[in-house]
A and B are shown apart, each in its own frame.
Chain A
Amino acid sequence: MKNRRFVLSSAAALASGIMLAARRSQAAVVAAGPALGAEERALHALNRLGYGPRPADAAAIAAQGAGPWLERFLTEQLEPRRMPQPEGLSARLAGLEVLKLGQAELVGRYRGAVKAAREARREQAQGMQADADALNAVREKVRPLVAQAATARLSRALESPAQLEEVLTEFWFNHFNVFASKNAVGVLVADYEQRAIRPHVLGRFRDMLGATAKHPAMLIYLDNAQSVVAGYEPPKRARRFLAERPEIKPRVPSGLNENYARELMELHTLGVDGGYSQRDVTELARMLTGWGLDSRKALIGGTGDLFAFDARKHDAGSKTWLGQTVQGGGQAEGERALDVLASHPATARHLAFKFAQAFVADEPPANLVQRLADNFKATGGDLREFTRTLIRADEFWSREAYQAKFKTPYQYLLSSLRALDVQPTNLQNLLGALAQAGQPLYGAQTPDGYKNTAAAWRNPEALTQRVQLATTLGQRSGVTAEKLSSTLGASVSEPTRRTLAGEPASQQVALLLASPDFMKR
């Protein structure tokens, strides 16, 4: 852990670094178009390192001056723990039960609901009157917990002053995506985000990788909890239990499942071109056998975390992985594998590209990707330094990068609500709109998560939905075009302002929200 003085001095260094970057980019005017002005830079920071300006941000920029405002903003954003949380947000989060329950209790609830539903179905099959609540128990128990997770995510994104932390949480959650509709994952997404992702977004990559690898949401989603040594036989007591229940027998794991091992290398670390083979996938799966869950804990009303390494399920044989011989070593084999993957040059390249693509441009500048990768390697995967490298980069503040990213549906919705300062009363409608737009929250089914490029989102159906949202919000918010326009400040171009001035007043807010300037960030 860094001491406070170091943190403060590095924050100051960051601020001066940004000033240097500003001067350098002015020097490069010829090739890159005019450098961003102070207000443009402030808006750029709000749009890229947050979910866009709110009226209060515009007021603060006006009051403090864009330059000083930006300097303070960037310093604060890298130290989110020091920023006071607004009372309203704290109160809302405090009301969410899902953030207080431990993994064992969460999964216990899920299992209880599954059992109740199974019994109700059995009764129904026998012609008995089944309890309607019990029949729908899984849906009824899981759904409110996913909704609470979504409430926490959206409330923070809309109201937290620590905007960079929110944006990074979205990025890294998406990088280590899990899907709420698979088995018990739904009851666990809040805990996963809260404990495996959020604490590490400005910490160490290796820690986040380890936390996701051991989190029940990931162990269930990518099936590693069920991947066991070939020929595995459950312990004697379990065998007797199973002998009486032949229908469960096929569900008892008896060998490897490659799912997690493959995505761990392809998506989480090395990248698909990171130089591994099918053999490496299988060998890594063998190394990770035994990494699973203590399900008994959830069944008997236990508390706490569920990760458990079970040596009986582990393949103790020797393996050949990425050209190295790995002797049987229990849980340490998996830990060692995560060490190797986290510090592999291919991982640095893969993460650098993804990060630069999400925060700078769909086709990120090669030099920036290289610098991010170098930084990742040099710091041993320190994500605060990684993020700082991005924020210091000339490429980040360049004219080409300005307003160049097409918003995803999630970013479009959040930035609209922030710009209009709307306090949504019904989050279900918002979640429905995201699902309709193809980006349901916690609903990316595949482990690659959502893309953030224009090619993945810009099409007639997306435009239809955005214009619909713009019109609805325009009518309901009661915000005037002048007010909205002043909030958006320099992110609305002169040509757009001129065109808008000639449009009917009743359409101006909708048109501004549907403008090219607001579709992008």
Chain B
Amino acid sequence: MLRRQLLHFGAFTLGGLPVSLVRAQGGAQKKLVVVMLRGAVDGLSVVAPYGEREYAASRPQIALAAPGAADGLIKLDSLFGLHPSLSPLKRHWDGGQLAFVHASGSPDPTRSHFDAQDYFESGTPGRKSTPDGWMNRLLAALPGEPAPTRAISQGSTPPRIFAGTASVASLGLGPSALQRRAIDDPKLQAGLARLYANDAQLSGTLRDTTEGRGEMSRSMAAGDSKSMDASADAGAPSARSFAADARRLGQLIRKDAHTQLAFTAVGGWDTHVNQGAARGQLANRLASLGEGLDALAAGLGEAYKDTVIVVASEFGRTLRQNGNGGTDHGRGNVIWLLGGPVAGGQMLGEWPGLDISALADGRDLAVRTDFRQVLAPLLQRHLGLSEAALAAVFPQAPQTWRYADKLLRA
């Protein structure tokens, strides 16, 4: 067993054959990027139902003004408007590349951030024993050849959504994420490989590290040199900003023909106090997020036409503002879908309304669409998963969504 592991390891790192020679077949690879907003973003501020009387009435200090008013919402349709801080995304809506599924979320009623995030990432709401994350199961089920950089996790720690047996590359944060580090030294790598030979987990992590970093560095160095970091970060408010990291992720996906899945997370949405309206805490966060998603699209460049970006949060927030101009933990939220293949410029899903009788527990926007109902058509029609493979990614998933055919361009 020991010997087999060493040989396997050697085939990748010591054999000298770059994995990039093993090209995936067919045309451009379809890609899926998931951006998770940890902390429960207030979906009723992201896409505000200004057409509902109860919206402004429930939020005397934090409701956004109707489109056309000063600091008003960006009009999406006669019922919904986009937060004015998300103006960088308006061109994506107008260009038919941005859609929203409102009143969506998890069927499990928990209002615990941590359980709800866990359920979103495991893909099995209500079941805590699921050992892996749905994006790892998806990676394993994806048609085509495996590759070390087929899935990329951006951030310093491993997210639950990628937990599992399939190998995931990791991309650190900040401009120096792919700078040469001690672990890129082949002599040290060889020593570590010998040292880890009896430790299946660490030798697996080492293999993912050396192969992933090798591939990512080669990809980033290839082609146009001008997009390599220094200039890409120029003009960004901070080299460590979400926008700079998102742009870098987009570039990497564009340049590495193998990359099909990516995940990143943004925190700080738990606005219990003074969340503000067109200005304030939440507006600032959304501005940075909107700028970042636009930068991700820019970084993707020509790959944007083959990429679907999903933005989601663990649950929504209360309809009524609380005693501190903030909102507490709620239920339904809005899922964002962005990218070339998205049939954008439309609101999808059923809208339950904000009448007290329609609210969950008399207080929260109800969940009418299970998040898996939104993801399933992406997995099948965009990434080409079979029915059986889909069942492995989302076991016991709800029935097919009524809007499944309307999500993607024909």
Residues on A facing B (Cβ under 8 Å): 223, 226-228, 230, 232, 250-251, 253-259, 262, 266, 272, 278, 281, 436-438, 445-446, 448, 454-465, 467-468, 470-472, 495-496, 499-500, 502-504, 507, 510-511, 514-516, 519
- In whole angstroms, what is the CA distance A20 to B337 when docked? 62
A459 and B172 contact, Cβ closer than 8 Å, known pairs A253-B323, A467-B182: no
Cross-chain contact B188 with A461 (CB below 8 angstroms): no
Question: Given the complex of chains A and B, what is the CA–CA distance between A514 and B267 in angstroms?
Answer: 31
Q: A257-B326, A448-B114, A516-B195 are in contact. Are A464 and B202 (CB under 8 A)?
A: no
Closest to B207 in A: A460
B182 close to A438 (CB less than 8 A) = no
Tell me whether B273 is interfacial, beta carbon within 8 Å. Answer: yes
28 sample A-B contacts, Cβ–Cβ < 8 Å, listed by A number? A227-B324, A228-B323, A251-B274, A254-B323, A257-B272, A436-B156, A438-B155, A445-B268, A455-B163, A459-B170, A459-B205, A460-B205, A460-B209, A460-B212, A461-B156, A462-B157, A464-B181, A464-B183, A464-B209, A467-B188, A499-B194, A499-B195, A504-B187, A507-B187, A507-B188, A510-B182, A511-B195, A516-B202
Instruction: Check if A461 sits within 8 Å of B155, measured CB to CB.
Output: yes
A341 to chain B, nearest CB (A): 16
CB distance from A227 to the nearest CB of B (A): 6
| CB neighbors of A among B61-112 (8 A) | 61, 110-112
Are A500 and B201 closer than 8 Å at their CB atoms?
A: no
B113 touches A446 (CB 8 A): yes
B213 x A464 contact (CB < 8 A):
yes
User: Across the interface, which residues of B come within 8 angstroms of A446, CB to CB?
Assistant: 38-39, 113-114, 267, 270
The CA-CA distance from A471 to B184 in the complex, in Å, is: 12
Chain B min CB distance to A361 (Å): 15
Task: Say whether A437 contacts B156, CB under 8 Å.
Answer: yes
Nearest-neighbour CB distance to chain A for B367, whole angstroms, equals: 15
Q: For residue A510, which residues in chain B have a CB less than 8 angstroms away from its CB?
A: 182, 188
Q: B192–A232 contact, CB under 8 A?
A: no
| Cα(A24)–Cα(B323), bound, Å | 58
B384 at the interface (CB under 8 A from A): no
Q: Considering the chains assembled together, what is the distance between the CA atoms of A361 and B156 in angstroms?
A: 23
A255 touching B322 in the complex, CB below 8 Å, given contacts A278-B111, A467-B183: yes
Which of B39, B111, B172, B201 lies in contact with A458, CB distance below 8 A? B201
Chain B residues closer than 8 Å to A258, beta-carbon distance: 272, 322, 328-329
The one of B112, B181, B196, B272 in contact with A516, judged by C-beta atoms closer than 8 angstroms, is: B196
Q: Give the distance to chain B from A174, nearest Cβ to Cβ, in Å.
A: 14
- Sort chain B's interface into a size bin: 35 or more
Q: Which residues of A contact B15 (CB under 8 A)?
A: none
Residues of A within 8 A of B202 (CB): 458, 463, 516, 519
Q: How far is the CA of A458 from the CA of B195 in the complex (A)?
A: 17
Query: Which of A230, A251, A266, A438 has a CB less than 8 Å from the CB of B112?
Result: A266
**A250 with B188: in contact, given A278-B111, A437-B156, A459-B205 (CB under 8 Å)?**
no
Tell me if B172 and A461 are in contact (CB < 8 A).
yes
Contacts of B182 in A (CB 8 A): 467-468, 470-472, 510
Bound form: Cα–Cα A268–B112 in Å: 13
CB distance from A403 to the nearest CB of B (A): 11
Is A272 a contact of B196 with CB atoms below 8 Å?
no
Q: Is the CB of B111 within 8 A of A262?
A: yes
The CA of A259 and the CA of B361, in the complex, are separated in Å by 18
CB of B325 within 8 Å of the partner chain: yes
Report the Cα distance A281→B153, complex, angstroms.
35
Residues of chain A lying within 8 A (CB to CB) of residue B329: 258, 262
Residues A259 and B272 in contact in the complex (CB < 8 Å), given A461-B155, A464-B183 = yes
- What's the Cα separation between A464 and B155 when bound, in Å? 13
- Contact partner, A459, options B153, B183, B268, B273, Cβ 8 Å: B153
Cβ-defined partner of B205 (8 Å) among A253, A463, A495, A496: A463
B198: CB under 8 A from chain A? yes
Expressed in whole angstroms, the Cα–Cα distance for A46 and B207 within the complex equals 31
- Known A-B contacts: A278-B111, A460-B205. Give 12 more (CB < 8 A): A223-B273, A226-B323, A226-B324, A254-B324, A257-B328, A258-B328, A262-B111, A461-B155, A461-B171, A468-B182, A507-B188, A516-B202
Q: Which B residues are in CB contact (< 8 Å) with A256?
A: 322-323
B220 CB, min distance to chain A CBs, angstroms:
15
The residues of B that contact A223 with a CB separation of less than 8 Å are 272-273, 324, 326
With a cutoff of 8 Å between Cβ atoms, the chain A residues found around residue B16 in the complex are: none
Specify which chain A residues have a CB less than 8 angstroms from the CB of B201 in the assembled complex: 454, 458
Alpha-carbon separation in the docked complex, A228 to B273 (Å): 13
| Chain B, range 178-222, C-beta contacts under 8 Å to A | 181-183, 187-188, 191-192, 194-199, 201-202, 205-206, 208-209, 212-213
With A223-B324, A254-B323, A257-B324 as known contacts, state yes or no: A457 contacts B272, CB within 8 Å.
no
Report Cα–Cα, A471/B182, bound state, in Å. 7
Q: Is the CB of B172 within 8 A of A464?
A: yes
Cβ–Cβ < 8 Å partners of A467 in chain B: 181-183, 188, 192
Taking CB atoms, residues of chain B closer than 8 Å to A455 are 158, 160, 163
What residue in chain A is nearest B196 (Cβ atoms)?
Answer: A516
Q: Do the beta carbons of A445 and B328 come within 8 Å of each other?
A: no
B54 within 8 A of A: no
A278 touches B361 (CB 8 A): yes
Q: List B residues 272-329 near A (Cβ within 8 Å).
A: 272-274, 322-326, 328-329
Residue B256 interfacial (CB < 8 Å):
no
Instruction: Kindly identify which residue among A226, A462, A500 contacts B156, using a CB–CB cutoff of 8 Å.
Output: A462
Report the Cα distance A268→B61, complex, angstroms.
32
Q: How far is the CA of A256 from the CA of B323 in the complex (A)?
A: 5
Interface check B243, CB cutoff 8 A: no
Residues of B within 8 A of A460 (CB): 168-170, 205, 208-209, 212-213
Complex Cα distance, B208 from A467, in Å, reads: 14
CB distance from B184 to the nearest CB of A (A): 9
Q: When chains A and B are docked, how far (Å) is the Cα of A502 from the Cα of B326?
A: 62
**Chain A residue, CB-CB nearest to B154:** A461
Query: In the bound complex, what is the Cα–Cα distance between A254 and B62 (angstroms)?
Result: 14
Please, which residue of chain B has its CB at the minimum distance from the CB of A281? B111
Q: Is the CB of A438 within 8 A of B273?
A: no
Asked if A463 and B323 sit within 8 Å, CB to CB, the answer is no
Question: Cβ of A250 and Cβ of B274 under 8 Å apart?
Answer: yes
Nearest CB to that of B364 among chain A residues? A278
Q: How far is the CB of B237 from chain A (nearest CB, A)?
A: 16
Q: Which of B153, B187, B206, B322 has the most CB of A within 10 A?
A: B322
Say which residue of B169, B191, B208, B273 sits within 8 Å of A257 (CB atoms). B273
Q: Which residue of the partner chain B has the closest CB to A464?
A: B183
Q: Which residues of B lie under 8 Å from residue A468 when comparing CB positions?
A: 181-183
Tell whether, in the assembled complex, residue B198 and residue A495 are in contact, meaning their CB atoms are under 8 Å apart: yes
Q: Which chain A residue shows the least CB distance to B326?
A: A257
* Cβ contacts under 8 Å, B325 to chain A: 250-251
Contacting residues, chain B, for A507 (C-beta < 8 A): 187-188, 191
CB of B7 to closest CB in A, whole Å? 17
